């Protein structure tokens, strides 16, 4: 298909790479990249301090809009919108400009060229912007917007966004059930996860795994549950004195987590690596003995949908221990009953971790079974094809004009 014949999809998102190898999550851009063989893809995303200028980034036309003086454009990064609003009250002042700026930038794109379909990532606020653009749109919920944004007005807005969409996707079956519980109905509701490159990038390595390194990768926010892993560490260390925990991530809870490490007296066993570039992650997953993802539902009701870091670890063949949040069964398959524990119970979490450390052959066999299940569900080749088909269906009314 020539570029002139391709339909154009306008992507609305908040989380998006600011530059190549940005440590912030890059799943929206990775999907955009894989849609460029079927679509002209334009991503309208927020600007940030130090971000690349507008232009073509790995085949995607990226438009970064300003929503405040540049040094203050901090609503999205270092923890995500929900965490930033909770921790820094003044950032609520950024929200109107954030939403209005995206709407204005999208309309400017519309004036320059024809747009056939809009893909809004997150019901709120991107879905609200898409609803005002008067084009067919697909809206994708990633978890926090569905589980965490609750209350009379917010729920009504989510229902309006879904009801006006041409179609809606969620990234796990548990989220589909949650949407129906909240009476959030779209003309078509599908379960389509985000993807991971399990063919070339996130693959098992040839080197031997560490015998005692635990790994956590993710934003340092409440729903990731890292504080519960730290609570369990003294019990793990007591039985396995050589164990160490590597923490790859950053976020608003970092200072509190560092204090917790000091209070528990486990500093010699814990390393905070901070932000890690995307291209360095596979080596961490291939080296670790166990990837620990102690996910919980936080005080606002927010929880993970289908977390990308867990998918990446699975792709690299790393044994995993995870929290008991809804939706992980889609990725973990029959092993979910063994792999998932209540992380708020430090004894149960410690026992699950130690079981993997003390029985590495059994842990590795289970990791291989989980990877086989994941290949059919979350590899980008299959996932991008499903999103492409959905967007084509949504674009049909505009293509007929």
Q: pLDDT band at 301, cuts 50/70/90? A: confident
Residue 259 to residue 25: CA distance in whole angstroms: 26
Is 200 inside a domain boundary? no
pLDDT of 1 over the 60 cut: no
Among candidate residues 248, 278, 249, the one with its CA nearest the CA of residue 33:
278
Residue 347 to residue 34: CA distance in whole angstroms: 43
Residues 125 and 236 grouped into a single domain: no
**Which has more confidence, 305 or 230?**
230
Is 314 inside a domain boundary? yes
Is 201 inside a domain boundary? no
Q: pLDDT band at 356, cuts 50/70/90? A: very high
CATH number at residue 86: 3.40.50.2000
- Considering Cα of 26, then 31, then 37, then 42, what sign does the dihedral take? negative
Is 3 inside a domain boundary? no
pLDDT of 299 over the 80 cut: no
Q: pLDDT band at 160, cuts 50/70/90? A: very high
pLDDT of residue 367: 94
Residues 272 and 177 grouped into a single domain: no
Residues 172 and 281 grouped into a single domain: no
Residues 229 and 170 grouped into a single domain: no
Is 204 inside a domain boundary? no
pLDDT of 53 over the 90 cut: yes
Residues 40 and 90 grouped into a single domain: yes
The count of domains in the chain is 2
Instruction: Name the residue with tokens 């009953």.
Output: 337
Q: In 10 A of CB 49, how many CB atoms? A: 12
Q: Which residues of 335-360 are buried (b: 16+ CB within 10 A; e: fewer)?
A: bbeebbbebeebeebbbbbbebbeee
- Considering Cα of 168, then 171, then 173, then 178, what sign does the dihedral take? negative
Rg value, the chain, Cα = 21
Is 2 inside a domain boundary? no
Phi/psi of residue 245, nearest 5 degrees:
-120, 125
Is 208 inside a domain boundary? no
- Mean pLDDT of all residues in 129-155: 89
Residues 33 and 100 grouped into a single domain: yes
Residues 47 and 165 grouped into a single domain: yes
Tokens, residue 280: 């360095």
Residues 245 and 166 grouped into a single domain: no
Residue 394 to residue 124: CA distance in whole angstroms: 20
Is 66 inside a domain boundary? yes
- Mean pLDDT of all residues in 87-91: 90
Calculated CA dihedral for residues 186, 25, 336, 228, nearest 10 degrees: -120
Q: Count how many Cα atoms sit within 13 Å of the Cα of residue 23 in the half-sphere of its side chain.
A: 18
- Mean pLDDT of all residues in 302-330: 86
Q: Report the predicted TM-score, pTM, of the whole model to 2 decimal places.
A: 0.86
| 263 CB burial (10 A radius; 0-12, 13-18, 19+) | exposed
- What is the domain extent for residue 123? 8-195+379-399
17-41 pLDDT, tens per residue?
A: 999 989 888 999 999 999 999 999 9
Q: pLDDT band at 399, cuts 50/70/90? A: low
Residues 166 and 284 grouped into a single domain: no
263-277 pLDDT, tens per residue?
A: 999 999 999 999 898
Chain centroid to CA 272: 21
Residue 187 to residue 170: CA distance in whole angstroms: 14
Tokens, residue 26: 């890059």
Residues 171 and 223 grouped into a single domain: no
Residues 277 and 177 grouped into a single domain: no
pLDDT of residue 147: 83
Residues 365 and 393 grouped into a single domain: no
pLDDT of 150 over the 90 cut: no
């Amino acid at each position: 298909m020539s570029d002139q014949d391709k339909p154009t999809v306008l992507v609305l998102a908040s989380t998006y790479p600011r530059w190549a190898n940005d440590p912030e999550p890059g799943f929206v851009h990775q999907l955009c990249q894989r849609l460029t063989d079927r679509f002209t893809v334009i991503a309208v995303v927020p600007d940030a301090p130090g971000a690349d200028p507008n232009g073509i980034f790995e085949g995607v036309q990226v438009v970064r809009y300003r929503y405040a003086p540049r040094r203050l454009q901090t609503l999205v990064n270092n923890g995500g919108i929900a965490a930033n609003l909770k921790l820094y009250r003044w950032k609520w002042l950024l929200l109107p400009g954030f939403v209005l700026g995206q709407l204005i930038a999208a309309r400017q794109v519309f004036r320059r060229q024809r747009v056939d379909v809009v893909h809004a990532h997150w019901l709120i606020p991107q879905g609200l912007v898409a609803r005002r653009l008067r084009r067919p749109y697909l809206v994708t919920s990633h978890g926090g917007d569905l589980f965490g944004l609750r209350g009379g007005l917010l729920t009504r807005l989510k229902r309006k966004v879904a009801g006006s969409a041409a179609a809606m996707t969620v990234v796990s079956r548990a989220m589909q059930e949650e949407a129906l519980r909240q009476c959030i109905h779209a003309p078509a509701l599908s379960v389509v996860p985000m993807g991971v490159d399990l063919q070339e990038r996130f693959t098992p390595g040839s080197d031997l795994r560490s015998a005692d390194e635990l790994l956590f990768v993710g934003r340092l926010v409440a729903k990731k549950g890292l504080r519960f892993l730290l609570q369990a560490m003294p019990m793990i260390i007591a039985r396995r004195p050589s164990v160490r925990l590597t923490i790859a991530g950053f976020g608003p809870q970092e200072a509190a987590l560092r204090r917790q490490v000091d209070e528990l007296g486990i500093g010699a066993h814990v390393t905070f690596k901070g932000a890690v570039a995307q291209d360095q992650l596979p080596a961490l997953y291939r080296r670790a003995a166990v990837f620990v993802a102690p996910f919980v539902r936080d005080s606002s009701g927010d929880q993970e949908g289908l977390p990308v870091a867990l998918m990446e670890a699975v792709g690299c063949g790393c044994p995993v221990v995870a929290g008991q949040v809804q939706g992980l069964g889609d990725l973990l398959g029959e092993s979910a009953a063994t792999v998932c524990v209540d992380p708020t119970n430090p004894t149960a979490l410690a026992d699950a971790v130690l079981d993997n450390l003390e029985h590495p052959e059994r842990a590795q066999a289970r990791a291989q079974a989980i990877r086989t299940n994941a290949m059919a569900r979350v590899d980008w080749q299959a996932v991008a094809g499903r999103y492409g088909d959905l967007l084509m269906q949504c674009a049909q009314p505009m293509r007929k004009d």
